[in-house]
Amino acid sequence: MNSLQEFAPVVLFSVVALLFTLAPIVIAYILAPRTKGARTLDTYECGIEPYGSAWIRYGMHYYIYALIFIAFDVDVLYLFPVALNYAKGERPEEFYALLCFVLILALAIFYAWGKGVFTWKRKFSQ
Amino acid sequence: MEKVLDLARANSLWPMTFGLACCAIEMMSASMARFDIARFGAEVFRPSPRQSDLMIVSGTVTKKMAPVLITLYEQMPAPKWVIAMGNCAISGGPFVFEGQYNVIEGVDLLVPVDVYVPGCPPRPEALLEGLMKLEEKITGKRRFPGPEERW
Amino acid sequence: MVGKIKTELGAALGNIEIGEVNYRERGYHLCCEVDSGEIVKVARFFDERGFYLAAEICVDYKEYLELVYIFGNHAALCRVKVALKVDPAKPVVPTISTVFDCAYWYEREIREFFGVTFEGHPNMTYLFLHEGIDYYPLRKGQVQVSAEDKKSLGSFQPEGAEDTFCINLGPQHPSTHGVLRVVLKMDGEYIEEAEPVLGYLHRMHEKMAENRGYLQFHANTGRMDYLGAMAFNLGYVTAVERMCGIAVPDRANYVRVIATELNRLSSHLMWLGAYLADLGALTPFLYVFDDREQINDILEPVTGSRLTYAYFRFGGLYNDVDEAFVAATKAFVERMKSRFVLYEKLVTGNVIFINRTRGIGVITKERARKQAVSGPVLRAAGIAMDMRKTEPCAAYGAMDFDVPVGTRGDALDIYHVRIKEMENAVRIIEQALAGLPEGPVMAEKVPKKLKPPKGDIYHTVETPRGELGIYIVSDESDTPYRMKWRVPSFSNLMVFPELAKGNLLADTVAILGALDLVIPEIDR
Amino acid sequence: MEQLASIIGWEALKMIVGLIGVLAFVVVNALILTWAERKVAGHMQRRIGPKEVGPYGLIQPIADALKLLGKEILTPRAVDKPLYYVAPMLIFIPVLVSFIVIPFDASLVVKDINVGILVILAFSSLSMFSILMAGWGSNNKYALMGAIRSIAQNIAYEIPLLLALLPIIMMTNSFSLKTIVEAQQGLWFVFYQPLAFCIYFIAGVAETNRTPFDLPEAESELVAGYHTEYSGMRFALFFLAEYTNMFIVSAIAVTFFLGGYQGPFLPGIIWFLLKSYLLVFVIMWLKWTFPRVRFDQLLNISWKALIPLAFINLLITGGLLKL
C-alpha cells in the first residue's frame, strides 16, 4: 500500500495543474471585451485564405525516425535497472554484459547511418 | 478594475510585424539600439496577428493588399489599436494623381485608425511620439510631458 | 567587339539594315528593326554569343506598339537594341521565353500593362495587377480589357491534387522583408514548386512618370528602392544629363561618388542584419543598425532626409558639402575598419552559419546569364561584371577598386562578395575624400524646364542590388513620353523558383534572404 | 495546526504546503524570467530593455501578465475543439509534477520519491503530446509543421538526455535525487563526468526548444510555430510552461552535476537558486548569440554525435567503476 501512497502527490499535482491553467482562461473570458469580424475566426495564413486543409498525410520521412526511437528508448530503459545496482569494484562480468549490450545497440545506429536514413538528400534536377 | 487593465495594456503594447514599404525601415530602426522602443515594453514584435494588439500600418496600401489587411486586422483579438504611419497610410501620400488605379487613399477607409503619424518616412522619434499619443488615448494620462506642454 | 557583332548580325539576318548608334548619347551601340517572324531567330543568335536579355520594353506610339529588346554582354561592353513593331488592334508576338528564361516574367508584365499576347507562353496570368483593374494601365488611350482576356488572366489558383500541401509564404511574413507572396507546394519538409505572386506594393511609378515633369519625378526615384536611394538618384540624374548634354562640375562628381558609396554601405549592412535574422541570430541586426545610424548622421545634415534621398540635381547637387561632413566621414571610415573585424569574428567564423549557407542556392554561370541576374548575386556566380567598371558615370573612372568574385555561387559566396564589396566601398570613399577638388557644385546655366531632344536612351548604373537600367523616350516636351525602369531585384527574384525546388523550407528562406530583394523595387 | 494535522494526517499537510509553495514559486519564477530575458537581451544588444514601467522595468512582466489577462481568447472556426482546448492545460502537468522531486534544500523537498528522476523523465515526454495536440488541433499549416518538427526534435534528444544521466545513477546506485545530492559531498559529479554534463546541457536546451534548436517556433520560417493560432491567456500558458521548463532543466543539471544545495557557508536554498539561475542565464546567452540550426542538421547532431558519445561515456564509467 505504501508505494501507492508515495505517488499521491503526483496525482494531486496534476489535478491542481489542470485547475491552475483553467483559472486564468476563465478570468480572461470574463474580463476581455469581444470583437466580431467577418474573418475573425478564419485560420491565419499570412492574410490569405488557405488552399486545402492542413489535416493531410505529412512527410513520410519522420516515420523512420519514430521506429529508431522506439528501438532505442526500450533498450535504454533496460539499462536503468543495470545502473541501479551496479556494484563497484567486484563481479567484472557485469561490465562485459553491459559492454556487449551497448555494442549491439550501437550496431543499430551504424546500420541506420549506413542506410542513409540520416542524410536528407536534395530532390531536384540540378 | 478596467483602469488597472488599461494601464497594463498601455505599458505592454505588442506590435505586429507588418512592414509594407519605406516606413518599415523606420519602424525597424525605432526598435533598434538608438531609439529603443523596448523601454516602453513594446519590443516584442509578434509575427502572428493572434498574439499582437497593435497594428502599425507602415507603407502604401494597394488595392491588392486591402483584403489581406482587413483579414489581418480582424484576426487580432479584442483590445486592438491601429497606428497609420507615414503619408501613404494616412492619405495615399505621393502616389495620388488623377489617373491612379492601384493605391488606396488612406487606411482609414479600411480599418478604424487610432493614431496618425505623418511624415514620409516619419522619423523614429515621431513613431515613439505616436506610441505616447496612443498610451495617452488608452490611459488618459501621459507619461512624458508632450512637446506642446513644455512651453 | 561591336564591329564583329555588327557584321555577324548582318550576315545572319541578311536584309535588315543595322544602324551604328552614337553610344555617348543613346546608351547602346547597335540598333536594328525586326518583324515578329524573326524575333526568335535573333534571340537564339544572341543566346549563342553569350549575350543576356537586359530588358524587354513596350512603348505605345498610338499608331503602333513598339517592343524593344535590349541585349547586353557580360564580357565586353556591347549593347544592342532590337525593335519590333506591333499593330495595336491585334497585338500578338511569338514568345522568346524558350530561349531566355527571364523573358517568361518580362512578357507576363507586358501582357498585363499593354495587352500584347505572347503565344507559346506557358502561364499568362496576372503578375502585378488583379481583376479589379479593367483597362490596360500603361496604354495611352483607355483600352478596355476584353472579357475573354480577363478570363485568361484570372488570378493565381494553385492546381494540383487535393491533398498537396500548399502553403503560402504570404504578404505578411517575417522573412519576406516586405509584401512578397510566394506560394509553395510542399511534400513534407521539401519544396516541390515555388511561385511568387507580386503586385502587393505596385505604386505606378511608370504611370506617374508620364504626367510628371523631369524634376517633379525626381522624388519618386528615392521611393522606388529606399535602401539604395542614392544609387537610383544617380542613375536618373545622369540619364537625363546624358540626354540633355549637361556638364557636371568635378566637385559634384566626387561628392556623388561618396554619397552613393555611403548609401551602398548602409544598404549592404541592412542586408547583413536582415539575412542573419532570417537564419535565427537576432543580435547582429542591432549591431548593424548601430552602424547605419552613423551613416544616417553623416548624410542627414547634407541631404535632408534619412532614407529616401533626393540629393542630386540635374547638373550638380542640392547643396554643397561642408567641413563637418568630411571630418565625420573620415572618422566613420576609421571606425568601420574595426567593425569589419568584429563582423568577421561574430559571423564569418560561426560554424552554424557556415553549415546553414554553404552549398544551398547554387547559381551556375549559365543560369545567371539566362535569367539576366546582376549585382553581387551574379558576381558570386563567378562573372565579374560591375557597372562602375564597365560604364563609370560620376567619378568612378578615377577610383581604383577591385571587383570581388565568388567561385561556387552559393549563399556563402554571396555573403563573402558583399562583405568584400563593403570593404571596397570604404576604400573608394577614402580615395574620393582625399581627391575632393574645390570649386562650384552646380553647373551654371541649367534650363528650368528641361526639354531633352527627341529619341530614347538606355542608361545603366550599379545599385547595391545590381544593374539598374533606365529607358527614357522623350518627345521634346518637358514630361517624358515613356520611362521604363529595368530593376535588378525583379530579375534576381526570377532565379528563386528554380533554386527553391527540392530544398528544405529553412533553405528557401536562406536563399530568399541571400538574394536581398526590396519589394517596392520589384513591384515599381 | 495540530488539530488540522491530526484530521488529515501530517503527511498530507506537508504535501499541501509544498503544493502552494511550488505554485507560488512557478508564478514568481515566470515573472523573473520574462523580465530577465528582456533585460539580458537588451544589454546584449547594446540597448537597455524595459526601463520606463517600474524602477528598472520590474513591473513590466506584471503589466504583460495583466494585459494578457485582459485579452480576448479567440477560438478559430476550423479548429478541432477538444484538442485545441486541452493542449495548453496538458502542457502544464509535467511542469508542476517535476517540482515534486526537486530538492531545493536538505529538508525543503515536497516528497522525496525514491524513483525521482524517472518521474521527471516520464512526464517531460508528456509535454511533447501537448505540443502535438496544439499543432494538429489548430488546423494551421504552420502550426502543423511546427508540431511535427518539435516531436522529431524531442524524440531525437530524449535518448541522449537519458544516457547522460545513466553514469551518475551508476555511481550513486539510486534514483532519488536527495541521495544523489548527498553523494556529492566531496567532489561534484561534474568533475567526474564533464562529457555527460555537456551532453545533458545540449539535450536540455533542445528539450525546451530554445535557440539554437528553436525550430518548432522559428519566427523566420514558420510564423509562430505551434502556437500560431493561440491568443491571449492560452498563448501565455505556453510561454509560462517554456520558462518553467527552462528552470527545471537547469535545476536537474544542478542537482545531478553541480552538487544541488551544497555550498560552503550560505544556506542550501540560496546555493541552489544561485546555480540554477546561472545556468538559466547561460541558456539565455545562447539564445541571443547563435543562429538557428537547420532541421536535418539538428537531427543529425543528436543521432550521429550525441548518442554515440553518450554510449562511449557510459562504457568508460562502467569500466572505471570496475577497477
Digit-coded pLDDT (tens) for B12-51: 888 887 888 888 888 888 888 788 777 777 777 778 888 8
Sorting pLDDT into bands at 50, 70 and 90, what band is C159? low
Would you state the pLDDT for residue A126? 43
Chains touching A by CB (3 or more pairs below 8 Å): B, C, D
* Inter-chain touch B123–C199, beta carbons under 8 Å: no
CA-nearest residue of chain A to D300? A118
User: How many angstroms separate the CA atoms of D291 and C351, rounded?
Assistant: 10
Q: For the segment A3-20, what is each residue's pLDDT rounded down to a tens digit?
A: 666 777 778 888 888 888
Q: For the segment C237-256, what is each residue's pLDDT rounded down to a tens digit?
A: 888 888 888 888 888 888 99
D78: which chain A residues are within 8 Å (Cβ-Cβ)? 42-43, 53
Q: Quote the cell numbers at residue C360.
A: 544551398
User: How many angstroms separate the CA atoms of B110 and B112, rounded?
Assistant: 7
- Phi/psi for D140 (5° steps) reads -125, 135
The ipTM assigned to this model is: 0.86
A35: which chain B residues are within 8 Å (Cβ-Cβ)? 74, 76-78, 80
Which of B1, B6, B74, B81 to substitute to test the interface with A, most A CBs within 10 Å? B74
pLDDT at A63 over 50: yes
Span of A3-7, C496-500, D80-84 with lowest mean pLDDT: A3-7
Pairing of strands C30-34, C455-463: unpaired
Residues 6+ apart with CB under 8 A from B47: B16, B17, C173, C174, D219, D223, D224
Nearest by CB: A40 against B5, B68, B75: B75
Residues 6+ apart with CB under 8 A from B86: B21, B22, B23, B26, B58, B59, B93, B117, B118, B119, B120, B121, B122
Question: Is the domain covering C2-153 a CATH 3.30.460.80 domain?
Answer: yes
Nearest by CB: C223 against B64, B72, B94: B94
The order of strands in the sheet holding B54-58 is B15-16, B54-58, B81-85, B115-117
Sorting pLDDT into bands at 50, 70 and 90, what band is C267? very high
Q: Quote the cell numbers at residue A44.
A: 491565419
User: How many angstroms separate the CA atoms of D187 and D209, rounded?
Assistant: 32
Q: List, in sequence order, the alpha helices (H) in chain A.
A: 2-6, 8-31, 61-84, 93-115
Distance from CA of B126 to the nearest CA of D (A): 18
pLDDT at D88 over 80: yes
CA-nearest residue of chain A to C162? A52
Sorting pLDDT into bands at 50, 70 and 90, what band is D8? low
User: How many angstroms separate the CA atoms of C238 and C221, rounded?
Assistant: 13
* Inter-chain touch D96–A17, beta carbons under 8 Å: yes
D222: which chain C residues are within 8 Å (Cβ-Cβ)? 505
Sorting pLDDT into bands at 50, 70 and 90, what band is D81? confident
A 10 A CB-CB count for D316 gives 13
For the domain made up of C207-470, give the CATH fold: Cytochrome-c3 Hydrogenase; chain B (1.10.645)
Would you state the pLDDT for residue C332? 92
User: How many angstroms separate the CA atoms of D316 and D293, rounded?
Assistant: 30
Q: For the segment D261-273, what is each residue's pLDDT rounded down to a tens digit?
A: 777 777 778 888 8
Q: With a CB-CB cutoff of 8 Å, which residues 53-112 of chain A face chain C?
A: 56-62
Distance from CA of B67 to the nearest CA of A (A): 8
C-beta separation of A42 from D117 below 8 A: no
Q: For the segment C94-117, what is each residue's pLDDT rounded down to a tens digit?
A: 888 888 888 888 888 888 888 888
CA dihedral C207, C208, C210, C212 (to 10 degrees): 180
User: How many angstroms separate the CA atoms of D254 and C90, rounded?
Assistant: 80
Asked if the C-beta of C204 comes within 8 angstroms of chain B's C-beta atoms, the answer is yes
Mean pLDDT value across residues C466-481: 88
Asked if the C-beta of D233 comes within 8 angstroms of chain B's C-beta atoms, the answer is no
Q: For the segment C420-458, what is each residue's pLDDT rounded down to a tens digit?
A: 999 999 999 998 888 888 888 888 777 777 888 888 888
Mean pLDDT value across residues C158-181: 75
A 10 A CB-CB count for A42 gives 17
Would you state the pLDDT for residue B149? 59
CA-nearest residue of chain C to D45? C283
* Inter-chain touch B75–A49, beta carbons under 8 Å: no
C-beta separation of C232 from C460 below 8 A: no
Mean pLDDT value across residues C294-316: 87
Question: Residue C137: is the preceding peptide bond cis (ω within 30°)?
Answer: no
User: How many angstroms separate the CA atoms of B95 and C219, rounded?
Assistant: 11
Q: For the segment C65-76, what is each residue's pLDDT rounded down to a tens digit?
A: 888 888 888 887
Size of interface A-B (CB pairs under 8 A): 37
Which of B4, B9, B12, B132 to substitute to test the interface with D, most D CBs within 10 Å? B12
Mean pLDDT value across residues A92-103: 81
Q: Quote the cell numbers at residue D180.
A: 544523489
CA C137 to chain centre: 22
* Inter-chain touch C289–B25, beta carbons under 8 Å: no
* Inter-chain touch D141–C167, beta carbons under 8 Å: yes
Q: For the segment C345-356, what is each residue's pLDDT rounded down to a tens digit?
A: 878 878 888 888
Q: What's this model's pTM, rounded to 2 decimal places?
A: 0.90
CA-nearest residue of chain A to B6? A32
Would you state the pLDDT for residue D239? 84
Would you state the pLDDT for residue A1? 47
The mean pLDDT value of chain D amounts to 82
Mean pLDDT value across residues D69-97: 84
User: How many angstroms separate the CA atoms of C332 and C295, rounded?
Assistant: 8
Sorting pLDDT into bands at 50, 70 and 90, what band is C148? low
C353: which chain D residues are within 8 Å (Cβ-Cβ)? 291
Q: By percentage, how much of chain A surpasses pLDDT 90?
A: 0
Q: For the segment B75-112, what is each residue's pLDDT rounded down to a tens digit?
A: 888 788 899 998 888 888 888 888 788 888 888 888 88
Distance from CA of B110 to the nearest CA of A (A): 13
Mean pLDDT value across residues C135-164: 69
User: How many angstroms separate the CA atoms of B139 and B143, rounded?
Assistant: 10
Distance from CA of A69 to the nearest CA of D (A): 7
Which of A12, A29, A46 to substitute to test the interface with D, most D CBs within 10 Å? A12
CA-nearest residue of chain C to B31? C286
A 10 A CB-CB count for D2 gives 7
CA angle A123, A124, A125 (to 5 degrees): 140
pLDDT at D277 over 80: yes
C-beta separation of C222 from C310 below 8 A: yes
Nearest by CB: B74 against A31, A40, A48: A40
* Inter-chain touch C286–B26, beta carbons under 8 Å: no
* Inter-chain touch A73–D158, beta carbons under 8 Å: yes
- Could you state, in order of their start, the residue ranges of all structural domains in chain C? 2-153, 207-470
Chains touching D by CB (3 or more pairs below 8 Å): A, B, C
Instruction: Read off the DSSP letter of residue C187.
Output: E
pLDDT at C160 over 60: no
Classify B146 in phi/psi space as left (phi over 0), alpha (psi -120 to 50) or beta: beta
Span of A27-31, B75-79, C228-232, D107-111 with lowest mean pLDDT: D107-111
Q: Quote the cell numbers at residue D196.
A: 555527460
Size of interface C-D (CB pairs under 8 A): 73
User: How many angstroms separate the CA atoms of D15 and A10, rounded?
Assistant: 10
Which residue did the predictor score with more confidence, A63 or C163?
A: A63
Most confident of the ranges A59-68, B79-88, C170-179: B79-88
CA-nearest residue of chain B to D226? B48
Q: List, in sequence order, the alpha helices (H) in B60-145.
A: 66-74, 87-91, 124-139
Would you state the pLDDT for residue C14? 66
pLDDT at A45 over 80: no
